Amino acid sequence: MRIAIASDHAAVSLKAVLVAWLREAGHDVLDLGPEGTASVDYPDYGFKLASAIADGSADRGIALCGSGIGISIAANRNPNCRCALVSEPLSASLARVHNDANAIAMGARLIGEEMAKGCVEAFLSADFAGGRHQLRVDKLSTKVPA
């Protein structure tokens, strides 16, 4: 699976751990940066991640920042990205099964490395259930009624 991963400066360390772990597991990982811990703006990296999913460069995405909140909001600005903020494996799995999420976000200051790996594993191994959930997911791509 081709997985895009991006972070801000607060999550560079966790990103490096996940990139190495995913590559060891045989995944093709597209590291969208940043490379170092110099301050960067999380929206720039959330936008990059969403674009990689939207243009087909990646099948799934992992977005990381200090809390996971800001980068998930940024990624979700792209209508082709459904990024779920998760903090444990069950929510990561349900994001795929019920919401057809194609990306997850996590907060590096709030989650440990092993829990982050558990979330990624649950997310990547789950499949969208479709059925009654498809109608709801379709509504996520339409304009909000006035």
Q: Which residues are catalytic?
A: 65, 98
Output the CA torsion 52→45→7→101 (10° steps). -50
Q: Is 5:21 a contact under the CB 8 Å cutoff?
A: no
Q: What SS3 state is found at 131?
A: coil
Rounded CA-CA distance 23/18 in Å is 8
Does residue 43 have a cis peptide bond before it, meaning omega lies within 30 degrees of 0?
A: no
Q: Is 59:47 a contact under the CB 8 Å cutoff?
A: no
Give the Cβ contact number of residue 57 at 10 Å. 13
Residue 109: which of 46, 67, 72, 70 has the closest Cα?
67
